[in-house]
C-alpha cells in the first residue's frame, strides 16, 4: 500500500514539475536573446524556430517587436541585422498565420536583408485567407530599390506556384516582372517569369531578342519550355524558333535540354528543337 501511495505521489510531483521542464529551454533562450553574445542570440533564435511550441513563437515575436534586443546591441547603440534576420526567419519557420502582421511590418524595415527575410517568410504562409496580403507584399517587394528584396519577391512567386499555393493577380505580377526586365533588372524577372510567364512573356522576349542578354532570354525560355502548363504548342514552336535565331551557347543548351527532356510527348515543337540541333 505504501509503495502504491509513493508511486502516485511521485507521479503527481512529476506532472506538477513538467511545465517547469518545458519552460526551462524557453527561459534559457530568452536569456541568450537578451545576453551579451550576439552569436548565442542568433543560435537561440534558430533553436526557437525549429521547435513547434506556440510559446516559442510568442517569444520570437516578442523579441522582434522589442527591437531584436541583446545587451551588446543596446550598450553600443547599434547592431548588425543578423539577429533581426534570424528572428524573422525563425518566426517564418513556424508557418503560423499569427505571424502575418509582424512579418508584414518587417517587410518594410529599413534594412534590406530584414525586408527580404520577411517577404520570404510571408510567402510560405499557406492560409488561402492570407493570399491577397501576401500578393500585396510581393508587388511592393518587386518595386523595392534593393535587388535582394526584389529577388525575394520573385522567389515567393516561384515558391507559391511550385507548391500550388494561392497567388492572386498572376497577370499583374507577370506585367510587373516584364517592366523590371525592361529597366535592366534580370535577376528577379528570371526567377518570377520562369514560374508564371505565359504568352506575354514569350512574345516580349521574342520582340526584344537583341535588347536583352542572351543568358537571361535563354534561362527564361528554358524554364517555360519544361513547364507542362505552358503553351499551347504553337507558342512553344515560337519559342524554339526564337532560341534558334539567337544561336548563342545558352540558347543552344536550352534547345538541347528541351529536345532531350520533352515535358509532353508528341509535341511538334520538340521535333523542331531536334531539327535545329541537327543543323
pLDDT in tens, 163-212: 999 998 899 999 999 999 999 999 999 999 999 999 999 999 999 999 99
Contacts of 135 (CB under 8 A, 6+ apart): 167, 168, 169, 173
Q: What is the pLDDT along the chain (279 residues), one digit of tens a residue?
A: 444 443 444 444 344 444 444 558 899 999 998 888 888 999 999 999 998 899 999 999 999 988 766 666 767 666 667 889 999 999 999 999 999 999 999 999 999 999 999 999 999 999 999 999 999 999 999 999 999 999 999 999 999 999 999 998 899 999 999 999 999 999 999 999 999 999 999 999 999 999 999 999 999 999 999 999 999 999 999 999 999 999 899 999 999 999 999 999 999 999 999 999 887
| pLDDT given at position 46 | 95
The residue written with cell numbers 530599390 in the block is: 145
Torsion sign across C-alpha atoms 268, 271, 273, 279: negative
* Cβ neighbourhood burial of 75 (10 Å; 0-12, 13-18, 19+): exposed
Amino acid at each position: 500500500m505504501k509503495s502504491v501511495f509513493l508511486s502516485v505521489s511521485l507521479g503527481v510531483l512529476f506532472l506538477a514539475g513538467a511545465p517547469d521542464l518545458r519552460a526551462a529551454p524557453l527561459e534559457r533562450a530568452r536569456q541568450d536573446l537578451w545576453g551579451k553574445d550576439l552569436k548565442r542570440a542568433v543560435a537561440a533564435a534558430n533553436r526557437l524556430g525549429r521547435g513547434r511550441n506556440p510559446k516559442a513563437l510568442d517569444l520570437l515575436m516578442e523579441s522582434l517587436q522589442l527591437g531584436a534586443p541583446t545587451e551588446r546591441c543596446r550598450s553600443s547603440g547599434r547592431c548588425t541585422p543578423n539577429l533581426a534576420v534570424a528572428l524573422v526567419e525563425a518566426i517564418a519557420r513556424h508557418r503560423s498565420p499569427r505571424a502575418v502582421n509582424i512579418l508584414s511590418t518587417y517587410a518594410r524595415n529599413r534594412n534590406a536583408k530584414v525586408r527580404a527575410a520577411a517577404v520570404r517568410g510571408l510567402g510560405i504562409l499557406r492560409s488561402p485567407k492570407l493570399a491577397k496580403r501576401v500578393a500585396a507584399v510581393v508587388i511592393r517587394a518587386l518595386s523595392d530599390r534593393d535587388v535582394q528584396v526584389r529577388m525575394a519577391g520573385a522567389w515567393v512567386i516561384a515558391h507559391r506556384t511550385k507548391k500550388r499555393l494561392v497567388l492572386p493577380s498572376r497577370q499583374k505580377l507577370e506585367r510587373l516582372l516584364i517592366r523590371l526586365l525592361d529597366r535592366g533588372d534580370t535577376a528577379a524577372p528570371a526567377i518570377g517569369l520562369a514560374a508564371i510567364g505565359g504568352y506575354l512573356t514569350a512574345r516580349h522576349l521574342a520582340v526584344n531578342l537583341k535588347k536583352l542578354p542572351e543568358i537571361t532570354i535563354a534561362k527564361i525560355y528554358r524554364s517555360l519550355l519544361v513547364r507542362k502548363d505552358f503553351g499551347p504548342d504553337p507558342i512553344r514552336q515560337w519559342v524554339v524558333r526564337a532560341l534558334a535565331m539567337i544561336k548563342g551557347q545558352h540558347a543552344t543548351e536550352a534547345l538541347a535540354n528541351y529536345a532531350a527532356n520533352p515535358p509532353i510527348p508528341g509535341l511538334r515543337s520538340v521535333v523542331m528543337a531536334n531539327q535545329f540541333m541537327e543543323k
